[in-house]
Amino acid sequence: MKTDYITASSPLPPYLAYPRFLLGMDLRLITKEVYCILLDMTVNGEGSVDKHGRRYLTFINPEIAKLIDRTPSTVGHALAELERAGLVKRHWVSRSPTQPYHTYIKLPATEDEP
């Protein structure tokens, strides 16, 4: 790969936002990486919107697994860890195992919110 020095006029390559709050969280690095990808997918319009105006994603495990060169099972474990941490909420649309579930990506609440 060819490289060059960064100057004042250097364009940034495509990147993922890494929220600072993740730095202090006791999560595996792969889990933090998955969260950054989920956040990017949600903010950049790849998700849908529910009746309450909340954005969600569906069928994401294979897509994320391909992006990070891991298995969908690894992504599933990361999602479970994020759900335990309160950063992801998965909601089953129906009881059928073939139906997708909605994956909501959450942010920490600010101090002035209840």
Place of tokens 């099972």: 73
The residues, ordered by sequence, that sit 6+ positions from 105 with a Cβ below 8 Å of its Cβ are: 35, 38, 39, 42, 55, 56, 57, 87, 88
Whether 5 is in a domain gets the answer no
Report the pLDDT value the prediction gives residue 114, as an integer from 0 to 100: 47
Query: Does residue 65 sit within a domain?
Result: yes
| pTM exceeds 0.95 | no
Is residue 1 domain-resident? no
Quick check: is 112 in a domain? no
User: Tell me, what's the pLDDT at 34?
Assistant: 96
Q: Please check whether residue 2 lies inside any domain of the structure.
A: no
- The domain total for the chain is 1
- Residue 21 to residue 26: CA distance in whole angstroms: 11
Q: Is 8 contained in some domain?
A: no
Handedness of CA 100, 27, 69, 54 (dihedral sign): positive
Determine, yes or no, domain membership for 12.
no
pLDDT in tens, 42-73: 998 778 899 999 999 987 888 899 999 999 99
Residue 96 lies in a domain: yes
Instruction: Check which CATH number belongs to the domain holding 79 and give it.
Output: 1.10.10
Q: Which residues of the chain have pLDDT under 50?
A: 113-114
Domain extent for 39: 20-105
| Per-residue model confidence (pLDDT) at position 111 | 59
